[in-house]
Amino acid sequence: MIVGEGYYTAEYLLGRAPVIPGGQFAYWEREALAEIDHRRGLTNIDDAPDYLKNCVCEVAEFLCSRDKAIRTTDGEQQGPVSSFSNDGYSVHYVDVNKSLRELTPFGVSDAIKKIVTKWVSGTEYHNSVVFRGV
């Protein structure tokens, strides 16, 4: 692993509330590195610069958020809440199949490409990653 939970909480978040629950960062970092490496990645780096660590953190947060959005309960797909009623208790969820493009395989690929491009654009890794099909 090239980031670690300590970097995520102290350096990447900068006081912001974590998207990834405590104790789960190692899992989501591994998933992020697999996605980035799958796209001709950045993961074979011994001493990664901060912008690469930030890239891994953002991809990890994206994947964790995506996972939360598609979790199911009792066989029903549950995503973000679109409306809530108190009297008579009614909760309606966003139709994740129609409104969250990032949940599709193509959408995931596109979102990760945008994240990686954002962090590595203008660096020594730009040509080797972005133009090779991240």
- 93-96 long-range contacts (CB < 8 A, ≥24 apart) are 96/69, 96/70
Residue 40, amino acid: R
User: Model pTM?
Assistant: 0.71
> Is 94 among the domain residues?
no
| Domain-embedded: residue 126 | yes
Inside any domain, residue 32: yes
Q: Note whether residue 80 is domain-resident.
A: no
Q: What is the pLDDT along the chain (134 residues), one digit of tens a residue?
A: 789 999 999 999 999 999 999 999 999 999 998 888 765 555 556 678 898 899 999 999 999 988 887 765 444 555 555 566 666 676 666 555 544 556 667 778 888 888 988 988 877 665 555 544 44
For residues 134 and 38, give the distance between their C-alpha atoms in angstroms, rounded to a whole number: 8
90 in a structural domain: no
- DSSP three-state, residue 44: coil
CB neighbourhood size of 1 (10 A):
13
DSSP β-ladder status, 76-77 and 81-85: unpaired
Which residue segment(s) compose the domain that 125 sits in? 5-72+102-132
Give a yes or no: residue 82 inside a domain.
no
In this structure, is residue 89 part of a structural domain? no
Tell me how many domains the chain contains.
1
DSSP string covering 66-94, please? HHHHH-EETTEE--SEEEEETTTTEEEE-
